Structure 1
Amino acid sequence: MIRPLFYIVMMLLSTQTAYAASSHNSDSSSVTDKLTLDIGVFYANSDSNIAVTSPKTGGSFPIDFEDELLLAEEQYLPYFELTYSFNQRHNFFIDWKSLDRKADNNAVSQDFILEDIDGKDYLIEVGAKLNTELNIDILRVGYGYDVWQGTDYAVGFSIGLHTMFVEAVFKGTIGTCIPDSSLTSLCSNVVATPEVVDDTLTAPLPNIGIYGAYEFYHGWHFSAHAQYFSIKYDDVDGSLIDVRLGVETKFCDNWSLKLAYNYYDVDITIEKQRKMSNNELRTFDHKISYSFTGPMFALSYVF
């Protein structure tokens, strides 16, 4: 979903590299400026769920993508991170993770309704065969300032923005209904036919954080960052926790190896309304929760 952004970043990277090379002899301050690119993989143990509606009671409950819909809990996934450090204390960074999964469930074990997607409700019944895709891209951009510095350490604060691009696709024998103006219809007497339901969500969350690095042995660095935010604004309610601890070692000029452990948790709730008979009526909130924990490994190059 954000591959074009990745290509733009790589173009900027090439431009910056060429500029740095051409100005190296004329600007002595460029020695303290650096551009670092990390390309790596992380091992994610994922937990994700989405709020759905019970066709029997009308109440909402979470459907677990891993337990009920059989998406893989553990997998290796790619990520990249680009950091530009300049004027000794300033840092701009951008990173991206891609988490795409799909699975087949030959017999769903409980009834549920996917409510208010493009103005329709979709009923999935016990025993139905369902193919599920959950594609999540996580983009993080931000700025950090080193408040405290020493010969072997740096500690600073950051502000930034995490944005999740979520696409959930359901394929199978799915019933369709359009509820009446009282929203009392719970998809009864619906004929189930082969159907594809595609729901997308973009969830931006600003964040504040703290980070630090310490050279505990020549050529070996320990680094950490922690970012947090909680917001309720208009129809959006969300929270974010992002914690990473890692070790880096330089093995030759400009090249380093990085090993880290990351904990990431985000909860997004969007209040939804639908218009019926010229009235705005509240429906169940659109909610998705996602978290992953696991080690990360990257190859790092300094331009």
Structure 2
Amino acid sequence: MLKSFIIRSMTLLAFIASPLAFAENNTIIRIGGFYANTDSTIDVNDPILGNAFALDFESDLKLEESQFLPFFEFSHHFNDRHILYVDWKRLHRNAVVQSVEKPFQFTWDDTTYDIKSGISLDSTLNIDIMRVGYGYDIWQGDNYDVGVSVGLHAMFIKTAFKGRIGICDSGTETRCPDTIDVPKVVDEKLSAPLPDVGIYGSYEFYPGFKLNSHAQYFYIKLDDLKGGLVDVRLGVEAEISENWHMTAAFNYYEVDVEYTSTFTEADIKLADYNIYYSFTGPMLSISYQF
């Protein structure tokens, strides 16, 4: 599913841009990074009390709360006013808890997994966010431009647990009687591509130095999905050489997504997630233009 979304997105951009390749074009590839703060929970069951509670990946399973987050951006400018862009942000974490303090159960694919207290548990939570979009310069001058953008973004979430885990049918009301060494229990989900809108601008205040900014926003609330995205960035870009540029920016970035348990067409039960991840602070990047 992940590969399919990427291939379709890149094919769409290539299809749109290819008839316009004769115009004055330039392409920019940018890589950089910043530190992200993450708060992630998954709804599980307490096998002793029989009630549901939110298991915290950071405090309960010891995943890092703050971590360096790399990002990648690709943009193609054509026909003077048009821009196509793709960006990717990646947050992959793994941690081992030597002794689980809170026992819990969760159900995936009609199978209940029983995590008993005291066992060693290897946990993984990978989050990737991809955006593709189109921008149009509304106002242009000799040293500035201002435009609007529309795009789609999707979040890819992979959760995995490894350890000595009990496994039983989803209808089991008590604790799973036997435990076995499970190589890895994996759940993967992809949010449907969701729209976002934004504005952007740049101003060359001195030869070789530009002030760049953008702001993007999205919010949705459906039966099984609630969440939003806010991305505001203000930075200064310096020309290192004819093709190379370096940018120092201040970025406010926030993603807050809640998934509610639902059944797919194949009657596969998905776990509840509440993922909040944000960053407020400096970021650095380097770009190549050709």
Unaligned 5+ residue runs, structure 2? Answer: none
Structure 1 unaligned blocks of 5 or more: 24-28
Q: Give the aligned residue type for 2:36.
A: A
Deviation at 1:74, TM superposition (A): 2.7
How far apart in 2 are the matches of 1:297 and 1:51?
36
Q: Superposed, which structure 2 residues align to 1:244-255 within 5 Å?
A: 244-255=233-244
1:222–1:248 Cα contact (<8 Å) kept: yes
1:222-261 equivalences in 2 (<5 Å): 222-233=211-222, 235-261=224-250
Check the 8 A contact 2:136/2:149 in 1, yes or no.
Answer: yes
Matched residue, 1:100: 92
In structure 2, C-alpha distance between the alignment counterparts of 1:274 and 1:95, rounded to whole Å: 29
CA contact (8 A) 2:89 2:129 kept: yes
Written as runs of structure 1 = structure 2, the 5 A alignment for 1:158-237 is: 158-180=149-171, 185-195=172-182, 196-203=184-191, 204-233=193-222, 235-237=224-226
Q: Closer, same or farther in 2 for the Cα pair 1:287/1:84, shift >3 Å?
A: same
Counterpart selection for 2:113 from 122, 137, 142: 122
- Over the residues paired in the alignment, what is the CA RMSD in angstroms? 3.2
Question: Could you tell me the TM-score, scaled by structure 1's length?
Answer: 0.80
Aligned twin of 2:102: 110
- Give the equivalent residue in structure 1 for 2:259: 269
AA at the equivalent of 2:235: G
- Mapped contact 2:62–2:95 kept (Cα < 8 A): yes
1:285 Cα offset (Å) = 5.7
Residue among 20, 26, 50 paired with 1:34: 26
Amino acid in structure 2 at the alignment position of 1:80: F
Q: Give the whole-Å Cα distance in 2 for the aligned partners of 1:76 and 1:3.
A: 24
Distance 1:284 1:165 in 2: 14
Question: Which AA in structure 2 matches 1:172?
Answer: G
1:242 and 1:49 map into 2 onto residues whose CA distance is 22
Whether 1:146 and 2:145 are equivalent positions in the alignment is: no
Question: Aligned partners of 2:230 and 2:173: how far apart in 1?
Answer: 36
Instruction: State the match for 1:26 in structure 2.
Output: none
Asked whether the equivalents of residues 108 and 270 of structure 2 are also in contact (C-alpha less than 8 Å), the reply is no
* Match of residue 87 from structure 1: 79
Using the aligned pairs only, state the percent identity: 43
Alpha-carbon distance, 1:77 to partner: 3.5
Instruction: Give the paired residue count.
Output: 279
**8 A Cα contact 1:109 1:126, kept in partner:** yes
Q: Aligned with 1:273: secondary structure?
A: coil
Aligned to 2:123: 132
- Alpha-carbon distance change, 292 to 237 in structure 1, aligned in 2, over 3 angstroms: closer
**2:239 & 2:157 partners in 1: Cα distance?**
36
Q: Which residue of 1 aligns with 2:275?
A: 289
What is the rounded CA distance, in whole Å, between the counterparts of 1:131 and 1:193 in structure 2? 14
| Paired residue secondary structure (2:277) | strand
- CA distance, structure 2, for counterparts of residue 156 and residue 62 of structure 1: 42
Q: 1:289 Cα shift?
A: 0.7
Cα deviation 1:166-193 (Å, max 9, x = unaligned)? 111100122223233xxxx444253222
Q: CA deviation at 1:88?
A: 2.2
Q: How does 1:16-95 map to 2 (within 5 A)?
A: 29-30=23-24, 33-95=25-87
